[in-house]
Structure 1
């Protein structure tokens, strides 16, 4: 079976194209996340080995990515392998790792196609869980495609939200310990900027196949305001009409979700400003106590000055963190002789 990432076939019929054009008159999600569930159940249904079900799932992904590009969806995040999957039988884990290895190698073979299409590939997850050779190949693909900006393919491999959030908290704690951050700098926005997904906007639409109605540790933080579509179809049987249905559901709730997102952003900013005012007040209080003066009200200028200082600290810390992650990827890339 061909393991290519992008289908070379024209899989959109004239009727599907007509309906797609109608759909595109409404808001189209820019970022769609997929939980590709149901490969093993599909294999059982068809009396296949589990490995054949996973291969069918790989083939389906190539089609789905083509549909996304056709519709104008510029970012796709796929749940390829969770950390919890390592708990499966050794035989199945070995099979999945071999499939991941083959897929990673195919990405390298298709690097010219990736660059032609302007696709940036990102690895979302904890690479340390993966075999060394897979780490090296993926790091090379990530490095080779990092300057592409037309479309983005995020592959969640050895990923779980629990691991992602705990890693972000550890990184922030390190920043505080190193003196790059103050504890008062820690807020929702800082934690989000420390996630594996910091380069991506939150998904507009999250689709899970197989009929299961749960996230299973996938983008739990990022999907707070996403449109969620749980479809009773096994992933290898997913077709463009299922994608259209999910997008139509997204469109019907688009306005209400935008209101919720705007409210959340406003509330986060209000909380941040209140925190800056409090910190500026505490600093001013300490300064006046030292000088033996009475403290008046904290001026807007002092609060603004504190906000600027906080922003400089946060920016310096994030620059340190991103450079460390970039250096980690560079170190994994095969050295040119």
Structure 2
């Protein structure tokens, strides 16, 4: 009897959530929501939990938020899982986080995972060479296994900072521009009239499109909403290139405490300012 009651209660909650999302769908739905997962350690301290338990609870929160986003029709979800700066933490803490990351990455391939339920393609975004071999190999395996999924996209930023992303893109653009034609050959071609003087002078110029072509996050459109929990308003070196025209939302809840009501409030605020954001994007 108890199991039937729990099943009925769960079914009722799911039905009410679908009705809520149907009402929200009357207005514009964000195509891309990004999350900075802030407050896991403070949550553990607040609840007197063991070290690392805040991140485990935070992963359950992430799974729920992803489910809500995909049910609502948000195609792209990006999470800031691990910054390059996080490598500066105590070695024991970094190793624990790497172990947890490996466990959860491998869990994405399970049949009952949210990735398989919603047909999610997974990208790991960042300087993956900084990860230890088991985590990097697991990430590559998940990306390969989900490459044919196209219903929804999950971007997990690990070993990531915006400054590293922009530096990487600039380096790639320079190598592309300066490596296309050897300098001696280009000068000879210019002298022989095989390329125009204008092309000769502009051939090595790095343009905005060159940077954007090599940016880590080039696989997704810019976010419509960027959520940072814990009431913090800092971007912490996350999506600095992509967030100039998105809505910033900073609920006071710690990451493991965030829930459906926060997502609904963020979407309502996005719908309220959507005309202004669209106008700004056309001006950029």
Which bin holds the TM-score, normalised by the shorter protein? 0.7 to 0.9
Residue 187 of structure 1 and its aligned partner are, at CA, apart by: 1.9
Check whether the contact 1:39–1:50 (CA below 8 A) recurs between aligned residues: no
Out of 224, 239, 244, the residue aligned to residue 219 of structure 1 is: 239
Aligned CA RMSD, in angstroms, stands at: 1.9
Other-structure match for 1:32? 33
Distance 2:179 2:32 in 1: 35
Residue 105 of structure 1 and its aligned partner are, at CA, apart by: 1.3
Tell which structure's C-alpha radius of gyration is larger.
1
Distance 1:169 1:12, change over 3 A: farther
Q: How does 1:14-93 map to 2 (within 5 A)?
A: 14-93=15-94
Distance 2:211 2:12 in 1: 41
Other-structure match for 1:201? 221
If asked which structure has higher relative contact order (CA below 8 Å, sep 6+), I would say 2
User: Is 1:261 paired with 2:281?
Assistant: yes
Distance 2:112 2:19 in 1: 32
Unaligned regions of 5+ residues in structure 1, if any?
A: 1-8, 265-337
Deviations 1:31-68 (A, max 9, x none): 11010111011111101123011100011111111101
Residue 176 of structure 1 and its aligned partner are, at CA, apart by: 2.0
Other-structure match for 2:159? 158
Other-structure match for 1:235? 255
Deviations 1:312-331 (A, max 9, x none): xxxxxxxxxxxxxxxxxxxx
Other-structure match for 2:123? 122
The count of corresponding residues between Structure 1 and Structure 2 is 255
Q: What secondary structure is seen at the aligned counterpart in 2 of 1:156?
A: strand
Other-structure match for 1:248? 268
TM-score relative to the length of structure 2: 0.85
Check whether the contact 2:29–2:271 (CA below 8 A) recurs between aligned residues: yes
